[in-house]
Homo-oligomer: A and B are copies of this chain.
Amino acid sequence: MTCNLSHYIIGIDGGGSGCRAALSDSDGVRIGEATGGAANFTTNPELAIKSVLEAAQEAAKSADIELDTLSHCVAHVGLAGILNASGAARMAAALPFRQVNVTDDRPTSTVGALGTEDGLLAAIGTGAFVAIQKNGAARFFGGWGFQISDHGSGAWLGRAAMERCLNVCDGLEPGSVLSNQVLTEFHNDPVEMVSFAKAAAPSDFAALAPMVIKAGAKSDALGRSIMTEGARFINSCIGKADLGESDIVCLTGGIGPHYAPYLDDRAKSLVRPAKGTALDGALMLAKAASENMECAG
């Protein structure tokens, strides 16, 4: 049952580096868009709320819509750092929309990339998660953070490269062009590597990932070995996906697409470009919620 009271639909995608809002009319025509400040809910909930609100208001302004119209909107907000139901509820309560669903950014990324199709998304940037979507429902793997998860992520690749290079220093495995490159970055000094690693944030480790990716593409033995091990997590998820011939596989994020050559053969042939972004996904989820919404009062 569709609800004519909801004229507008709003999707919001946010994370540590900023947030984006998109507004569409009830026909799904996008009429406004805006960006806002940092919106990782775990890092800073107050700031996340402020940034999301401002982005929504800016999107309304860009569409020449009165701000109080937002109270008629159906919204979906997908934010990094929404870890549990209480975080989602706190975020939702602070927003002025007629109806709002708040999730982490995995559902929005998945719907954005796969649309309504069945398949698998491997979203691999500094962090990493995989989603399997089937009949409109998604199941998620990984994404629990650098320390105990995110196998194959950019941060994981950089850290793994450093570990393997120390093995080279210790004479435990043969060196390569890649190990020479990485060790040169640290002036061939393991002590400098140790100091770096102790203070390194995931993004610092991830800064080394492009070297590993390039080395792997050039068949450098060490680079290929690290990329193959990084792909193990994705391939393990593919093993759970039971992919059909019409299913699609999307590799997104700064690192994701570079894993294509390392995927299991079956999955390789199913790789397609992502249909859209997490912002597109948020808007699609808001539209779906609007269409499912029962008209009240």
Task: Report A's interface with B, CB cutoff 8 A.
Answer: 83-84, 139-142, 144-145, 147-149, 151, 159, 162-163, 166, 170-172, 190-191, 193-194, 197-198, 200, 236-237, 240
Contact = CB atoms under 8 A, between A and B. Distances in A.
B172 A141 contact: yes
Given A142-B170, A240-B171, A162 B191 contact: no
Contact of A237 (B147, B163, B172): B172
Given A141-B170, A170-B141, A171-B240, A148 B193 contact: yes
Nearest to A193: B148
In this complex, which of A139, A140, A147, A148 has the most chain B Cβ atoms within 10 angstroms of its Cβ?
A: A148
B83 A144 contact: no
Given A171-B240, A236-B172, A147 B83 contact: no
Contacts of A139: 171
18 contacts: A83-B194, A139-B171, A141-B170, A141-B171, A142-B166, A144-B190, A144-B193, A144-B194, A145-B194, A145-B198, A147-B194, A148-B159, A148-B193, A148-B194, A148-B197, A151-B163, A171-B240, A172-B236
Contacts of A191: 83-84
Contacts of A197: 145, 147-148
Contacts of A166: 142, 144, 148-149
A240 B148 contact: no
B148 A162 contact: yes
Given A149-B163, A194-B148, A172 B240 contact: yes
